[in-house]
Structure 1
Amino acid sequence: MSVSDTRPVWFITGCSTGFGREFALQCLERGLRVVATARRLSNLDGLDAPSERLLKIELDVTDPSAITDAIARTREAFGRIDVLVNNAGYGYLTSAEEGEEAEIRAMFDANVFGLFAMTRAVLPLMRAQRSGTVVNISSIAGLVARAASSYYGASKYAVEGFTSGLHAEVAHLGIRAMAVEPGPFRTDWAGRSLRTTEVGIEDYRQSVGARLSGTAEISGRQQGDPVRAVTAIIEAASSDNPPLHLVLGAYAVDATRERWMQSIKELDTWEAVGRATDFPD
């Protein structure tokens, strides 16, 4: 480890494909130091740079001992972590009624509890540094959950709540937290990475079934460009004042604005009822 090397260190989970892979590539192109992780080391083939700039680690974020080892190896190699990108995770779509317990729990282990564990492991370094940024890759489903996304959306709503709470706890320590809410992007999310339980109940074919069919049809043709998305995230995370929420893609921006406007309208409609529940003065 060179103590004189001041290039920021980015620790990125889920670098096999999609956003994670693009994060590693762009960070290396920018001259940053990168810790690239994946569940299988062979999935990191093709990521090449001198050892003083790239550390490749086999990491399953649902394995606490593997997280501890990865952080220890990073400290030994680079001495610090400036940006943690919690990218590892995947989607599971089905109806709420037909959700399979094992599938739901496995997804939450990766999307939620793995993200929590990674953040807990990195925070001591960032506190000691009095600096750092935690970037949590959420989803538009964490702001606007649609049919078939009840469980996936719930996992991302958990990420949203965690990020907001984390921001309130660590901002005074020089640590920033940012949640990223991408809409449909041209990655493997809707393809081979997506897990589903098909609709078996006729009553859900119009809502959940239609969403599953639409998701399959759009796979590989989504409007969002992963390269531009990752560039935007890196620039936002590297700025002096990163946003708490970074909504990416025209679909996600429009859907978020529409939902927030609906929420304001609903709040206004029911405001008197809500205020009347306090003890009288």
Structure 2
Amino acid sequence: MASTSEPPLLSDGRKVWFNTGTSTGFGRCLVSSVLSRGDYVVASARSLESIQDFPKSDSLRLLQLDVNDGFDAIGLKVDEAVAFWGRIDVLVNNAGTGMKALLEEGGSNHFKEQFHTNVFSALDVTNAVLPHMRPRKSGTIVMIGSRSSWNPEVPGSGAYCASKAALRAIGETLSVELAPFNIRVLIVEPGAFRTNAIFTQPYFTSNPIPDYDDLRAKSQAAFEAVRGKQPGDPAKAMEAVLDVVRGEGRAKGRSWPTYLPLGEIAEKGIKEKCSRIVGVLDEWADVVRDVNFDS
């Protein structure tokens, strides 16, 4: 359980982090990494019980936050987070879910549910934090996305991949809109890491269409085969995020990346997609360019 004693005055250059979705996976690892670097962290989760086992620390505060509760409720929680140490230097939007369904079977309702948590809620949290960053002209917004947004050609993953692609687009736009306020955006896109993510979420089968029986079965088997065997270490991934945000370790002396793909699977998948797109642009250049009004 976190300490409730008064924190020291923040005049030592240490950062204050506000992290969502800290009960498992990347979120839990990130809290440990932040504390190990000597920074302060407000760890939030939908259930306080799920994060009561964090080690006691004067640099840690726990906050109950359901990111799906809406902007007004989130705003009150952000105010609570700010009250702990007087500011938020780094927001990490990690809370999310990974739902699986074939597109026709899941339909738009499946998409709406997925986007509510992964996209709209992340935007709500961000917009609730920004009024505390803009006046100080300082801050960092971290979006925990996924390399799946680059490689959605996996049956059953359409809604999840689309939500992460939307999150990346939001991050890209924010990076421009917030630049005048010296607020940076980091879009983290992990590959296959051993977290709950999409692999442990149930597969939507409430609207089975017989034509998809074989594809659905193969898709379910493929997800199950990967579960627990992902090569990525989430603790190492979050150490990389700390390096970038703090400008130290492997990030020392480097320019701000905006994008941070993590893992060889992410590297390979993103490179292949970019190469395919460039290939189409080259092969179809005459068609691509010949669509303007005649002079």
Q: TM-score range by the shorter chain?
A: over 0.9
| Equivalent residue, structure 2, for 1:253 | 267
Amino-acid identity (%): 37
CA distance in structure 2 between the partners assigned to 1:177 and 1:96 by the alignment: 31
**Deviation sequence 1:191-230 (CA, Å, 0-9, x none):** 54x1321383354355554232111122111111111111
Q: Secondary structure at the match of 2:91?
A: strand
| Equivalent residue, structure 2, for 1:66 | 73
2:244 is aligned with 1:236:
yes
| Equivalent residue, structure 1, for 2:24 | 17
User: Counterpart of 1:65 in structure 2: which amino acid?
Assistant: D
| Bigger mean CA deviation after superposition, 208-217 or 153-162 | 208-217
Aligned-residue Cα RMSD (Å) equals 1.9
User: Counterpart of 2:66 in structure 1: which amino acid?
Assistant: D
Tell me if the contact between 1:40 and 1:58 (Cα under 8 Å) persists in the aligned partners: yes
User: Counterpart of 1:248 in structure 2: which amino acid?
Assistant: L
CA distance in structure 2 between the partners assigned to 1:222 and 1:35 by the alignment: 29
| Bigger mean CA deviation after superposition, 56-65 or 14-23 | 56-65
2:171 is aligned with 1:157:
no
Residue 28 of structure 1, CA deviation:
1.0
Call closer, same or farther: CA 1:105–1:26 in 2, change over 3 Å.
Answer: same
CA distance in structure 2 between the partners assigned to 1:119 and 1:62 by the alignment: 13
2:188 is aligned with 1:185:
no
Residue 92 of structure 1, CA deviation:
1.0
2:101 is aligned with 1:87:
no
Q: Which runs of 5+ in 2 are unaligned?
A: 1-6, 248-253
| Equivalent residue, structure 2, for 1:269 | 283
User: Counterpart of 1:238 in structure 2: which amino acid?
Assistant: R
CA distance in structure 2 between the partners assigned to 1:102 and 1:44 by the alignment: 31
Tell me if the contact between 2:199 and 2:226 (Cα under 8 Å) persists in the aligned partners: no
Q: Which runs of 5+ in 1 are unaligned?
A: none
| Equivalent residue, structure 2, for 1:75 | 82
Residue 101 of structure 1, CA deviation:
4.4
CA distance in structure 2 between the partners assigned to 1:271 and 1:89 by the alignment: 39
**Deviation sequence 1:161-184 (CA, Å, 0-9, x none):** 101111111123211111111111
| Bigger mean CA deviation after superposition, 202-211 or 140-149 | 202-211
Correspondent of 1:170 among 168, 173, 178? 178
| Equivalent residue, structure 2, for 1:140 | 147
> What aligned pairs does 1:102-121 form with structure 2 within 5 A after superposition?
102-121=109-128
Call closer, same or farther: CA 1:140–1:37 in 2, change over 3 Å.
Answer: same
CA distance in structure 1 between the partners assigned to 2:48 and 2:125 by the alignment: 18
Tell me if the contact between 2:98 and 2:199 (Cα under 8 Å) persists in the aligned partners: no
Q: Secondary structure at the match of 1:196?
A: coil
Correspondent of 2:292 among 268, 278, 281? 278
User: Counterpart of 1:42 in structure 2: which amino acid?
Assistant: E
Tell me if the contact between 1:10 and 1:84 (Cα under 8 Å) persists in the aligned partners: yes
CA distance in structure 2 between the partners assigned to 1:221 and 1:120 by the alignment: 36
2:56 is aligned with 1:56:
no
TM-score scaled by structure 1? 0.93
Count of aligned pairs between the two proteins: 279
CA distance in structure 2 between the partners assigned to 1:45 and 1:187 by the alignment: 19
CA distance in structure 2 between the partners assigned to 1:271 and 1:191 by the alignment: 39
| Equivalent residue, structure 1, for 2:34 | 27
CA distance in structure 1 between the partners assigned to 2:279 and 2:199 by the alignment: 36
CA distance in structure 2 between the partners assigned to 1:139 and 1:206 by the alignment: 27
Correspondent of 1:224 among 228, 232, 237? 232
TM-score scaled by structure 2? 0.88
User: Counterpart of 1:158 in structure 2: which amino acid?
Assistant: A
Q: Secondary structure at the match of 2:173?
A: helix
| Equivalent residue, structure 2, for 1:99 | 106
CA distance in structure 2 between the partners assigned to 1:170 and 1:77 by the alignment: 25
| Bigger mean CA deviation after superposition, 240-249 or 8-17 | 240-249
